Amino acid sequence: MKKMLYDYVLQGGTLVYPEKTREAAVGIKNGRLYILKSSKRPQGKTFVDASGCFILPGLIDAHTHPVYVDNLEQIARPAAFGGVTSMIHYITVKAGQKPLSVLEKAIAQGERTSALDFGLHAALCDVPGQAEDIPALIARGVSSFKMFTAYKKLNMMTDDHALALGMDIIGKHGGIASVHAENGSVIDYLEERVRVQGKSMAAHFLQTSPSLLDKEAIFRVLCIGGLMHCPVYLPHISSRHALEALTLARRHGIRFYSETCPHYLVFSWAQLKKYGPLGKIRPPVKTAQDRDELWRALSGGVIHTIGSDHAPKDKHRDDAFDESPYGAPGIENILPVLWHHGVGTGRISPGTLVRLTAENPAKIFGLFPRKGRLQNGADADLVVFNPRHTWTVTRTGQHSNAPYTLYEGMKLGGKVEKVFSGGRLIVDDKTYHGESGTGRFLQTGISGRPL
């Protein structure tokens, strides 16, 4: 029997799974990966020495916003350097727009320009006026729908009646509701009170967004989801009070998945506020105690994924805090930051990192077993990661169009060395080989697989 000639053979690395690590070579052929038996000598066109490195499945970032200074094409470059090989983008559908039309345009643009595989979430700003498109979008492969309990002044807030309506339809057609859960009405009041009192919004940012309002909104959203038999995905969990709401919902048997982000795990507001508007994120980064509780929750089954919430804006340090938009870049640093501050400090294992950033997102959004795990026949999306490579983050070394990074000057232990997407080598040390239009649209579906 003729031996298979692989396009690439990766040798000497340690493969990382949620439950174990193992030494094995990996072959890549026609966009698929194969775990090679140590007793056989593989044949390959190109051999990669991964000695001393970990080989991870490509990260799946389910929380990206390719609508600011990094568009659907440009976001692939910083993503790849962060070890991300698949993304699920949030696409906002404003009031008066037809969701199916907006999402079809985004799919076409992504297929034409993206170098990485991508799925989409539909972010609905007018649920009563847009709910009729939900079944058609689910049939098209857009199975997750974002709604907001904040941003009333931006005409994005969804009230409880509309949440129930949307979740009822989403649940009946096999989708999932992704909800930005803060009590926006009370936040707006607290902000108005600070302004009336003539106080600085920057100095009182946390006081206008107390974590108790996370807890209230999250539990309210989960109760509605439970009543409507609709699974709920909760992005950007940022506080210990939010974790309390999740724990209570789990006791009630409510089906949900939750996500946190690297900036909530690395910073406290006491550290971040020196950056002024650059650190203005919604929900805000909270206290050091919140940060530590989030780390502990990563191994407890209440937090299921980590996403970047990459929302790169054209912001500058001397901009007016009140007038600056929310959001920050982050996708390029997701893997090295989590490795350095998590694995490197013993807070989490390499397996936990892989579970939260690859296998769980794949399972939640119906991409498993094609993605999320190093196994025979899966998409050849993988990362060669060198834990011994120390480096310092600088804006000039980043690949986003954002004019800053929150991680400026941070020294990290561990760096992405090579990234394969669909069997194509797209990152080789400092060189990017991604080609526009090679990424595929990923139809998502709520698989119901246990986590």
132, two tokens = 């009729």
Domain covering 59-364 in this structure, CATH number: 3.20.20.140
Q: What is the pLDDT of residue 449?
A: 64
Query: Predicted confidence band at 218 (pLDDT cuts at 50, 70, 90)?
Result: very high
Average pLDDT over residues 122-133: 98
Residue of 29, 16, 39 lying closest to 384 (CA atoms): 16
The pLDDT tens digits for 284-329 are 999 999 999 999 999 888 999 999 999 999 999 999 999 999 999 9
Residue of 49, 27, 109, 78 lying closest to 432 (CA atoms): 78
Q: What is the pLDDT of residue 149?
A: 97
Given this chain, do its domains 5-54+377-432 and 59-364 carry the same CATH topology?
no
Per-residue pLDDT at 1 exceeds 60: no
Per-residue pLDDT at 429 exceeds 80: yes
Strand order in the sheet with 232-234: 59-64, 84-93, 117-124, 144-148, 176-180, 232-234, 256-260, 305-306
The pLDDT tens digits for 334-361 are 999 999 999 999 999 999 999 999 999 9
Query: Predicted confidence band at 2 (pLDDT cuts at 50, 70, 90)?
Result: low
What percentage of the chain carries pLDDT values higher than 90?
96
Cβ–Cβ < 8 Å for 58, 382: yes
The pLDDT tens digits for 103-118 are 999 999 999 999 999 9
The pLDDT tens digits for 57-84 are 999 999 999 999 999 999 999 999 999 9
Domain layout of the chain by residue ranges? 5-54+377-432, 59-364
Q: What is the pLDDT of residue 451?
A: 78
CATH of 5-54+377-432, one of 2.40.50.140, 2.60.120.10, 2.30.40.10, 3.90.180.10: 2.30.40.10
The pLDDT tens digits for 129-161 are 999 999 999 999 999 999 999 999 999 999 999
Residue of 179, 89, 103 lying closest to 134 (CA atoms): 103
What percentage of the chain carries pLDDT values higher than 70?
98
Instruction: Strands of 161-313 (E only): list them.
Output: 176-180, 232-234, 256-260, 305-306
Average pLDDT over residues 24-34: 97
Q: Model's pTM, two decimal places?
A: 0.97
The whole-angstrom separation of Cα 219 and Cα 223 is: 6
Per-residue pLDDT at 119 exceeds 70: yes
Per-residue pLDDT at 7 exceeds 80: yes
Cβ–Cβ < 8 Å for 160, 187: no
Average pLDDT over residues 399-416: 98
Cα–Cα distances (Å) from 82 to 259, 297, 322, 375, in that order, read 18, 23, 31, 22
Q: What is the pLDDT of residue 300?
A: 86
Q: What is the pLDDT of residue 122?
A: 98
H-type helices in 114-198, by residue range? Answer: 127-130, 134-140, 160-172, 184-196
Q: Which helix (H) or strand (E) holds 55?
A: strand 54-57
What is the rounded end-to-end Cα distance, in angstroms, of the chain? 39
DSSP readout, 330-368?
-GGGHHHHHIIIIITTTSS-HHHHHIIIIIHHHHHTT-T
- When the pLDDT of each residue in the chain is averaged and rounded to a whole number, the result is 96
Instruction: Strands of 113-245 (E only): list them.
Output: 117-124, 144-148, 176-180, 232-234
Query: Predicted confidence band at 450 (pLDDT cuts at 50, 70, 90)?
Result: low
442, two tokens = 């990923």
